[in-house]
Amino acid sequence: MDFIYFADTPAQDLEGLPGDYPFTCDISTVLEHSGPLDFILVGKALDEKIIALCEQIRQHARWSLLPIFHYLDLGSYLTEIMDAKVDSFEKACELAHDIQQIIQTLPPILADDKDSNLLRLLLTRQHKSIKPIQDWQSPSLFRYPLLETLDPSIQTWVWLKSLQERKLIVSTQLIDRIRLCPHCDTGHLNYIDTCTNCHSIHIEQADFYHCFTCGYVGLQTEFIHGQQMSCPRCHTVLRHIGSDYDRPIEDYHCHDCGQNFLEPDVVAECLQCHEKNPTESLSVISIHEYTLTKLATMSVMNNTVVDVYALLDHLNFITPQYFEYWLNWYLQMAARYKTHHFALMLIHIDQVEALTQHFGFGFTHQLIEGVAERMRELIRTTDLSTRTSTNLLWLLLPETPADGCEILVKRLRAISDATKQEDGSQIAFQIGYLLSSELDLNHEQAKTLMHQLEGKITS
């Protein structure tokens, strides 16, 4: 079989490797290879060079499904972005043959998008799954190497959520559950015990006594005087526990305000943005391993993988992370300057799946394309949009009062009505908005504001 050995040094001992094997350490040589190529065999090379090779191969129109094998022990990240470890050249040829056989059954790809590339890659590797690895240096503590290889700039949580909602992937195993800062989505948190009264960190766990005579509760050290114990308030000598005194349930003492309490308040301080959050406000993320569904296989074979909602991602679109950043900035501006106003609008798009099942993917794709074109005419150059879910479209509308929002809602409803079919089915919009003039600007955060509006629309 035709292959290239990619490494910085000649091959180490690998059973069955031909003596005149093609050898290179230059990625461009691989990408510009003119002849047939069945697989790449990776040897000893810098991790950065191997990652760059895999990224450029997977994002290359011609070589995106090319098998990549290794035979040396590598780290977990490199292992996940390659197809398999082989113990002989014969094994590499056997696996490459199996993959190439499946590739031959795939229809020509109609849309070169990240979803299609991912699903086609997994479909041609029967053993492959979307597997996370733990990485303490990563802001979110876990990474999905395969997804990063296909698109290094992608927000993996958003991508996985979209694929799940469209029933293209399914969880096969729960790996872990993590908590992230609700402001910057970072998992690097420092959990601090604080006083329940003044929130100081200057607290300590200590023993307490309770005087039955006067009811005073204080630190054990306050009651000890030489060889005897007495109440520091009423000076009663305390001899017998249970009759003169007992131990109260308080376990902690604050040195700043003097408060005694049973359990401290636990605060999670983000080590990146330095925000302090109650533990109950942290974002809880479940980390799963995923595999393809039967629907994904059918979608690949029918060339219907493309996310029709992605047509809406041209309306001054920014990623959810930057959308939250700008929303927080607008909140701060509105709090400081009373003449500064904005509106936050959410459009929940419904019935697209039903239309697809009834009229087919091509018809629905054209319908959404028409909707996106008409919406593009309504969106001003200063407006921003994002999607936090497959069918949740957000608009950030600066200097937009209530009557402006109502006009926009009316026009959006007209776009929805224009998609109505003879049987009554149509692309439906559920629309809600919040005005900055109605908010407590000194206490609002982008994430909680968006969660509040989403709850009103989708409940």
pLDDT tens, position by position, 181-192: 988 889 999 999
Q: What is the pLDDT of residue 61?
A: 87
**Residue 402 clears pLDDT 90, i.e. is over it:** yes
- What's the pLDDT score for residue 407? 95
- Residues 365-401: pLDDT tens digits? 888 889 989 999 999 999 999 988 888 999 999 999 9
CB 377 within 8 A of CB 338: no
Q: State mean pLDDT over 411-430.
A: 92
Please compute the mean of the pLDDT values over residues 274-288 and round it to a whole number: 92
What is the average per-residue pLDDT within 349-368? 82
CATH topology of domain 1-105: Rossmann fold (3.40.50)
Per-residue buried b or exposed e for 112-147, using 16+ beta carbons within 10 Å of the residue's own CB: eebbbbbbbbbbbbeebebbbeeeeeeebbbbbbbb
Question: What's the predicted TM-score (pTM) here?
Answer: 0.74
31-50: average pLDDT: 94
Percent of all residues in the chain with a pLDDT value above 70, rounded to a whole number? 99
DSSP letter string, 116-172: HHHHHHHHT-TT--B--EE-TTSTTSEE-HHHHHH-TTS-HHHHHHHHHHTTSEEEE
Name the percent of the chain lying above pLDDT 90.
56
**How high is the mean pLDDT of the chain?**
90
What is the predicted pLDDT for the residue at 202? 94
Q: How far is CA 212 from CA 197, 208, 229, 252, 328, in A?
A: 25, 13, 13, 20, 54
Cα-to-chain-centroid distance, residue 216: 52
Assign 459 a pLDDT band (cuts: 50, 70, 90): low
pLDDT for 111 beyond 80: no
Q: How far is CA 297 from CA 119, 143, 289, 293, 439, in A?
A: 8, 25, 18, 7, 47
Are 33 and 23 spatial neighbours (Cβ–Cβ below 8 Å)? no
Stretch 403-415: mean pLDDT: 95
Q: Given pLDDT bands bounded at 50, 70 and 90, which one contains residue 38?
A: very high
Assign domain 307-458 to its CATH superfamily. Answer: Reverse transcriptase/Diguanylate cyclase domain (3.30.70.270)
How far is the C-alpha of 297 from the C-alpha of 140, rounded, in Å?
Answer: 30
Tokens of 351: 């019935």
Residues 282-327: pLDDT tens digits? 989 999 999 999 989 988 988 777 777 777 877 888 888 889 999 9
Write the pLDDT tens digit of every residue in 201-218: 999 888 888 899 898 888
Tokens 């799946």 belong to which residue? Answer: 353
Q: Express each pLDDT in 49-92 by its tens digit.
A: 999 999 999 999 899 999 999 999 999 999 999 999 999 999 99
Q: How confident is the model at residue 259 (pLDDT cuts 50, 70, 90)?
A: confident
Residue extents of the structural domains in the chain: 1-105, 115-174+286-300, 189-269, 307-458
Pairwise CA distance, residues 19 & 311, whole Å? 52
